[in-house]
Amino acid sequence: MPGSRPFSGHWFTLARKTHRLGPPRLLGGNASKGTAVDANAAKSAAQAAGITSDARHARLLAELMEAGYQRAEPPILQPASVFLDLSGEDMRGRLYLTSDGEDAELCLRPEYTIPLARAYLASPEAGREAAFSYLGPVFRFRPGASGEFLQAGLESYGRTDQEAADAEILAVALEAVDAAGGSPLDIRIGDVALFARLIEALDLPAPWARRLRRGFAQGHALDTIAASAAKSAGIDHSGVLAALAGADQKGARA
């Protein structure tokens, strides 16, 4: 599930044909925070988007909408340049591409965050606080797996209390998954600054802190980073892992 940083006009530079997109289409009513949402309304919203009438999906949508995140559904066809400019040409092999009568290169949406951001910035709500949820099909080539699969998530725009917004999105997502009968989750937070603050709060020796930051940036697991560094230095790394496992939550937020 994506984070909640307010978006800047940078997205406009990527939207070569912004006029193709209107504001996000809202489904299932305009829920405010704390407003009860009937599961049937959420089910209808899912069906309106062409999603299978799975009770878990309806419950998930109801939880997200009840928390104040209106359901939005951006167009499935998107300008391919948006994703290629941001992720590079390596992304091309994962997109399902086509073109229109004007020779504009289009793709089936590979995810929701960019299409929703473009639609929000092209709408009258741009610059104001807005909160959207989504659940629908996305399309990416995946070796050995279907290229069409469902993606659910939340997007929050315009808030200045970024830390509180991030915490709220995570809490709402976890509660929605739990209400839908989901299994225990592994949480991945793609914020390098958050990891850096964690390392600072642990007060580790400088060499260890550098190794952890470098390994994290390279995408390695913490136990792999610690084991590799300890092996090269000929020391026991269990103390570092224990510090990471037992980090004080209040201290980590400092």
Domain parsing of the chain, residue ranges: 10-179, 192-252
Average pLDDT on 106-113 reads 96
For the record, the structure tokens of 180 come out as: 């839908």
Report which residue type is found at 40. Answer: N
Average pLDDT on 223-248 reads 59
The answer to whether residue 8 scores a pLDDT higher than 50 is no
Q: What average pLDDT is seen over the chain?
A: 75
Position 183 scores a pLDDT of 80
What's the 3-state SS for 96-138? CEEECCCCCEEEECCCCHHHHHHHHHCCCCCCCCEEEEEEEEE
Query: Predicted confidence band at 246 (pLDDT cuts at 50, 70, 90)?
Result: low
Range with lowest mean pLDDT among 46-50, 79-83, 205-209: 46-50
Average pLDDT on 27-44 reads 46
C-alpha R_g of the chain: 21
Determine the CATH number of domain 10-179: 3.30.930.10
Q: By C-alpha distance, which of 172, 226, 178, 185 is closest to 204?
A: 226
Position 103 scores a pLDDT of 86
Position 47 scores a pLDDT of 52
Query: Predicted confidence band at 36 (pLDDT cuts at 50, 70, 90)?
Result: very low
pLDDT digits (tens, 9 = 90+) for 195-204: 888 888 888 8
Average pLDDT on 142-166 reads 92
The answer to whether residue 94 scores a pLDDT higher than 70 is yes
Position 33 scores a pLDDT of 46
Position 119 scores a pLDDT of 93
CA angle 243, 248, 251 (to 5 degrees): 115
In percent, the amount of the chain with pLDDT more than 90 equals 40
